[in-house]
Amino acid sequence: MRTCVYPGSFDPVTNGHMDVIRRAARQYDRVIAAVLQNAQKAPFFSTEARMEHLRACCKDMPSVEVMSFEGLTVKFAQLTGACAIVRGLRAVMDFEYEFQLASLNRMLGPEIETVFFMTGTENMFISSSMVKEIALLGGEYRGMVPEAVFGQLEPAFAKKRRNP
Contact flag: residue 15 with ligand PNS (CB under 6 A): no
* Residue 9 binds to ligand PNS (criterion: CB under 6 A): yes
How many chain residues are in contact with ligand PNS, going by CB under 6 A? 9
Annotated catalytic residue: which of 30, 50, 53, 90? 90
Is 53 considered catalytic here? no
Q: Is 41 a catalytic residue?
A: yes
- Nearest in space to 114 (alpha carbons), one of 147, 151, 146, 77: 77
Burial class (CB in 10 A: 0-12, 13-18, 19+), 163: exposed
Select from 14, 15, 47, 73 the one that contacts ligand PNS (CB under 6 A).
73
CB of 130 to ligand PNS, least distance (A): 13
104 binds ligand PNS (CB under 6 A): yes
Binder of ligand PNS out of 56, 67, 83, 101 (CB under 6 A): 101
Q: Is 90 a catalytic residue?
A: yes
Cβ contact 31:2 at 8 Å: no
Question: Is 75 part of the annotated catalytic residue set?
Answer: no
- Residue of the chain from 4, 32, 36, 57 that contacts ligand PNS (CB under 6 A): 36
Residue ranges that bind ligand PNS, judged by CB under 6 A = 7-9, 36, 72-73, 101, 104-105
